[in-house]
Amino acid sequence: MKLNELKDNPGARKRRMRIGRGIGSGKGKTGGRGVKGQKARVGVAIKGFEGGQMPIHMRIPKRGFKSLDRKDYALVNLGRLQAAVDSGRLDASSQVTGEALKKAGVLSRLKDGVRLLGHGELKARLEIVVHGASKAAVAAVEKAGGKVVVTGAPAAAAE
């Protein structure tokens, strides 16, 4: 094989379609834009525009309320904690805090705090310090011989 004999496989390079070059080209006349009108022109951005009529997203009623003070907690299930203890990423003898969970790779971000949920099974005896915990999670940790310390209980979790 010589350098002057190198070439692509057949069909590896396809020529681009040149549009708007006559009706016989296959992409002539309207150039793939359909027929006449505003959308056939260049520089049109009319998504949601209804010809001057009030758009539907402004006509329909808005529902619900989003509090500006709402906290976004990082959620941790008991099963994830047990998996981290089993793999040796989390030390069962020391206190489990948000920073320890982040260091162990259980959480990627702490957000506004950590909330413990009761999904999964916990066998390890852990002392967990979190901002909130469900009743089922607290019961499961205490059943395994551990302890849950809730520091800043959010209003929704103070049931």
> What is the set of domains in the chain, with CATH numbers?
74-150 (3.100.10.10)
Q: Find out whether 73 and 132 touch, Cβ atoms under 8 Å.
A: yes
pLDDT value of residue 92: 87
Q: Find out whether 148 and 137 touch, Cβ atoms under 8 Å.
A: yes
Long-range contacts of 88-92 (CB under 8 A, 24+ apart): 92/124, 92/125, 92/126
Residue 157 — pLDDT band, cuts 50, 70, 90?
Answer: very low
Residue 114 — pLDDT band, cuts 50, 70, 90?
Answer: very high
What's the mean per-residue pLDDT of the chain?
Answer: 89
Cα-Cα-Cα-Cα dihedral sign, residues 26, 27, 32, 37: negative
Asked if the model's pLDDT at residue 101 lies above 60, the reply is yes
Residue 158 — pLDDT band, cuts 50, 70, 90?
Answer: very low
Residue 35 — pLDDT band, cuts 50, 70, 90?
Answer: confident
Q: Find out whether 116 and 76 touch, Cβ atoms under 8 Å.
A: yes
pLDDT tens digits for range 118-148: 999 999 999 999 999 999 999 999 999 999 9
**Distance from C-alpha of 144 to C-alpha of 91, rounded to nearest angstrom:** 16
Query: pTM, whole model, 2 decimals?
Result: 0.56
Q: What backbone torsions phi and psi does residue 135 show, to the nearest 5 degrees? A: -60, -40
Q: Any idea what DSSP says for residue 81?
A: H
- pLDDT average, residue stretch 5-11: 94
| Packed helices 78-86 and 135-143: angle between N→C axes, nearest 10 degrees | 40
Asked if the model's pLDDT at residue 153 lies above 80, the reply is no
**Distance from C-alpha of 86 to C-alpha of 90, rounded to nearest angstrom:** 8
